[in-house]
Homo-oligomer: A and B are copies of this chain.
């Protein structure tokens, strides 16, 4: 069994209060006893019990992160940013994957509540009323990452999806493309689906190009398979298209893959721009031009927002819209 503060106190010939004081560097001890206590701590290899500390301080220095799925390629970077910042600020992170399932999410929330975590980062999923109410009752701060809530006052960090989609489309237009298609995500997804579609549509309209349902494919999700299927449909539906805006990098990979299988040359026959800038975007063949989100930065930002709330005690903090950026690589070609 590990040593306790009592062992240290006894061996150093002081009370446990004194040991606690030097441990937390609180006033009330002489330089001499400090040395003595520290020496005993060193000697025994004593390390304080964070569980006991958590009990009395009502603080566990642990935060929870809820991902809808751990298989998405976004999570690596998000998690990376979150963990880095959290650790820098002295906290650990517990990961959960809810599989976008309401019941599982509630179970996780309950678990996190019982563990008395200090805060929650909720990633890439819609914040249902049930979740919000529960977390509210928990009385701990939360921030949304790569999602937002129209119904509840919860701070979030995101890029502006509509703007980013607008930028991507505009980029294609600037390259001289007129017939532009889109492989979108779910149009009923108000967070990542609809806004990107709207940005696409708006960019076309601003350029005086008619938006037609013929030029867009609505997928179920944002995955590779969606891109594969979407590309097939789009090519069949509107073969005259010269450029495509894919609503995610994974969709773009699917599109690239379909193109490869069917002898469509990218970017010679058709240009493609993705969305996300996953680390594998530059590994694609050809390297994927995409509108990038600062993923790691977003994770870090979410974490620091959470800690800001923890320290200040405020339940709210300013939202952060992080800038997107076009990464010019090799899947888009100038249209003569």
List chain A positions with a Cβ less than 8 A from chain B: 1-2, 45, 47-52, 54-55, 60, 62, 70-71, 73, 75-77, 79-80, 83-84, 87, 92-97, 108, 110-116, 137-139, 224, 250, 253-254, 256-257, 260, 279-280, 282-287
Contact A83 B110 (CB under 8 A): no
Contact A50 B92 (CB under 8 A): no
**Separation of A146 and B70 alpha carbons in the complex (Å):** 19
Contact B285 A116 (CB under 8 A): no
Residues of B within 8 Å of A80, CB to CB, are: 70-71, 97
* Given A71-B279, A114-B47, A94-B97 contact (CB < 8 Å): no
Contact B114 A50 (CB under 8 A): yes
Contact A256 B285 (CB under 8 A): yes
Contact A92 B111 (CB under 8 A): yes
A149 CB to nearest B CB, Å: 23
**Separation of A95 and B62 alpha carbons in the complex (Å):** 11
Copies of this chain, complex-wide, total 2
Residues of B within 8 Å of A113, CB to CB, are: 47
A27 CB to nearest B CB, Å: 24
Contact A92 B115 (CB under 8 A): yes
For the complex, would chain A's binding face be called helix, strand, loop or mixed by DSSP majority? helix
Residues of B within 8 Å of A115, CB to CB, are: 50-51, 62, 92
**Separation of A224 and B260 alpha carbons in the complex (Å):** 21
Contact B283 A47 (CB under 8 A): no
Contact A70 B47 (CB under 8 A): no
Contact B70 A60 (CB under 8 A): no
Other A-B pairs beyond A62-B115, A71-B77, A83-B97, 10, CB < 8 Å: A52-B55, A70-B80, A70-B83, A73-B73, A73-B76, A83-B96, A87-B108, A253-B283, A256-B285, A260-B285
**Separation of A152 and B139 alpha carbons in the complex (Å):** 45
**Separation of A329 and B171 alpha carbons in the complex (Å):** 35
* Given A93-B95, A257-B287, A285-B260, A114-B49 contact (CB < 8 Å): yes
